[in-house]
Amino acid sequence: RDPFVRQVQQAAKETFGNAITSVSSAGTGPMYSFVKVLKAPCISIGGTYMFARIHSPNEFARIDLLNKTTKCIGRIMERFAS
């Protein structure tokens, strides 16, 4: 596993209490360029609630999870910079 991905997993465990790694296809969006062309790992930090009704007219986000996501990204940046 890529060292950067391990850093992300550790930051997620510290922030959320656990980390779920889901390997998805980078065939859509700009992730394709990072993964295939630049050979760089691409990660996504999920900060939504399972029942948040994503992309529906009444979609919502929990503030506590948004705060944790911000903290997790900060931890990732600290690890990457060190």
For residue range 6-32, list pLDDT tens digits in order. 999 999 999 999 888 877 765 556 777
Average pLDDT over residues 3-7: 90
**What is the Cα Rg of the chain in Å?**
14
Q: Which two tokens stand for residue 8?
A: 């992300």
- Written as one letter, the residue type at 24 is S
- pTM equals 0.78
pLDDT digit string, tens, across residues 24-71: 765 556 777 777 888 888 888 888 888 898 889 999 999 999 999 999
Domain residue spans in the chain? 3-81
**Residue 80: CA count within 13 A, CB half-sphere:** 13
Q: Domain 3-81's class?
A: mainly alpha
**Residue 44: CA count within 13 A, CB half-sphere:** 12
